[in-house]
Amino acid sequence: MFRMRSTLVRGSLAVLALCAGLAGQAHARIFVGVGVPLFIGPPLIVPPPVYYPPYYAPPMGYGQGGSTFSYTPPQNQPTNLAPPSAYSRARACHAGAYVCPLIQDTPTGAPCGCPGHDGQMVRGQAD
């Protein structure tokens, strides 16, 4: 036991001495030409160039009159884009024993279909 420990200590000391003997002083120099040293300083970090978009002037007649500019909304009423009240939309398709939701707008009473258990379409009526 003692012999193994002493061998381990001697081996590690030999490796340490070998490393210390091989290690020398490091020189960070670059030689250019006939022996003139060129010392490189710290790295220089340059940010990327900044892109400024072009300036577009406002259109002619916009905001003329200084601070007296005001916006008045149009006088006519906007058109109503909702469907007419007489048109009623169905929300479900009743196909025999199957009831399924409708994906597309379908008027009440129009023909529709629901998928059955076998993957076939069962015809029905929108309600």
pLDDT in tens, 30-66: 655 665 566 677 878 888 888 888 888 777 776 555 5
Does residue 127 sit within a domain? yes
**Nearest residue to 98 (alpha-carbon basis) of 83, 112, 79, 84:** 112
What domain range includes position 96? 89-127
Which pLDDT belongs to residue 44?
80
Contact 40, 28 (CB under 8 A): yes
Mean predicted lDDT score pLDDT of the chain:
76
Pairwise CA distance, residues 35 & 108, whole Å: 96
Does residue 102 sit within a domain? yes
Does residue 84 sit within a domain? no
Number of structural domains found in the chain: 1
Does residue 115 sit within a domain? yes
Does residue 97 sit within a domain? yes
Kindly state the average pLDDT of the residues 24-32: 61
Does residue 44 sit within a domain? no
Per-residue pLDDT reduced to its tens digit, 79-127 = 777 766 655 677 899 998 899 999 888 888 899 999 988 889 999 999 8
